[in-house]
Amino acid sequence: MSVEVIPERSGTAFRLNKGQVLTVIDPKGEQVADLLAFNADDLNEVISSGRTLDYAETIRLTTGHKLYSNRSGVMLEIIQDTVGRHDFLLTPCSVDTFHHFYPDQPPHRGCFGNLAEALAPYGVKEDDIPVAFNCFMNVPIDGETGELKVLPPISKAGDRIELRAEMDLIIGLTACSAPDSNGGSFKPIHYQID
C-alpha cells in the first residue's frame, strides 16, 4: 500500500487484518502517534497497557515485544523499531488535559477527540478509549522519585515502528495535538499497511 498521511492534530481509523503489517512513520521527526487497537470481531477486547507491561516486565517496549489485550490475547507484535522509545503509560490528550496543562491556550479536542470521532463509525464508544500505545512519545521516569516527564521524542525524520497484527483489528491512529509531546510544533504522521 502507498503511504497514507494523517494531517497534524488529526486522527484516523482503519481495519488491519491478521498478518498485515502496520508501519507508523514520523516523517519530520519529534512527533507522536497515539495507537489504539480493538478486536475487529468483538470490540470488548481492547489493547491493555497493564497486561502488556506486566508480561514484558519493562515500560520500554520495542522490537520483539507483543502488545496484549485485556483478555491477554496478543494483538500486535513490534517487528521493527528504529527509535526504541515509546510510551504506554498515558491516555490520549483531551479537552480536559488541555485545560489542565495549557490553561492559556485555546483547548483542542486532542488525540482523544480525534480517536473518538475516527472510531465511532466502527462502534467504539468514547468511554472505551483506554491508555494508548503512544508511538515515539518520550516519557522518562526517574527510578528514584517516580517522577515522569513528557519530553520531545528522540525520533528523527523517517524513523518508524512496524507492528504485525496477530488478530483482525480495528486500529485508531493520530498525529498528536499536545504541544509538550512533540516539542511544541505540530506535524503529520505517515503510515503504511503491507
97's enclosing H/E stretch is: helix 95-101
Question: Are the C-beta atoms of 52 and 68 separated by less than 8 Å?
Answer: yes
Tally of residues, the chain: 194
| 118-177 positions binding a copy of itself, by CB under 8 A | 125, 127, 129-132, 140-149
| 19-78 positions binding a copy of itself, by CB under 8 A | 44-46, 48-51, 53-55, 57-60, 70-72
Residue 104 or 144 having the CB closest to a copy of itself? 144
Residue 121 or 146 having the CB closest to a copy of itself? 146
Number of residues that bind a copy of itself (CB under 8 A): 40
At residue 42, φ and ψ (nearest 5 deg) are: -160, 100
Q: Minimum CB separation from a copy of itself for residue 145, in Å?
A: 7
| Cα separation, 189 vs 186, whole angstroms | 10
HEC letters along 20-39: CEEEEEECCECCCEEEEEEE
Residue 17 or 58 having the CB closest to a copy of itself? 58
Strand, coil or helix: what is 168? coil
| 88-117 positions binding a copy of itself, by CB under 8 A | 89-91, 94, 96-97, 100
174 forms beta bridges with: 11
Q: Minimum CB separation from a copy of itself for residue 173, in Å?
A: 17
Q: What do you get for the CA distance between the two ends of the chain, in Å? A: 6
Residues contributing to the site for a copy of itself (CB under 8 A): 44-46, 48-51, 53-55, 57-60, 70-72, 89-91, 94, 96-97, 100, 125, 127, 129-132, 140-149
